[in-house]
Amino acid sequence: GQQVMQIPQYQHVQEGEDFTTYCNSSTTLSNIQWYKQRPGGHPVFLIQLVKSGEVKKQKRLTFQFGEAKKNSSLHITATQTTDVGTYFCAGRQTGANNLFFGTGTRLTVIP
């Protein structure tokens, strides 16, 4: 079955440092989505990438979809304490309606 892995599993950074999480799928994806989940909360949608090689930015967050549409990355520049949480990628196979979540990267920002 489809597997979506993320690395690293955990990341501790000093406030102001950059952070990157990588997402890799065992199969080609029609699109990939990124979510953020705060402790005790539910996942909140951040962005969707559809095109091969697509890059999107949201303020300090940069999202990239690989050329082969099997991997993606999320980069945060100059982290802030409000960035704390677990970041999940979620991929959908071509023709499928269901979404498979990556293993997640838990980010801790040390003030």
Partner 1 sequence: GAVVSQHPSRVICKSGTSVKIECRSLDFQATTMFWYRQFPKQSLMLMATSNEGSKATYEQGVEKDKFLINHASLTLSTLTVTSAHPEDSSFYICSASDRERGQPQHFGDGTRLSIL
Which residues of this protein are in contact with partner 1, per CB under 8 A?
1, 30-31, 33, 41-45, 48, 50, 88, 90, 92, 97-104, 106
Residue 70: closest CA among 100, 41, 42:
100
> Distance between CA 88 and CA 33 in Å, rounded?
8
- What's the closest the beta carbon of residue 99 comes to partner 1, in angstroms? 6
Query: Please, which residue, 30 or 78, has the CB nearer to partner 1?
Result: 30
> Distance between CA 109 and CA 111 in Å, rounded?
6
- What's the closest the beta carbon of residue 10 comes to partner 1, in angstroms? 10
Residue 74: closest CA among 93, 58, 92:
58
Query: Please, which residue, 32 or 109, has the CB nearer to partner 1?
Result: 32
Query: Please, which residue, 77 or 108, has the CB nearer to partner 1?
Result: 108
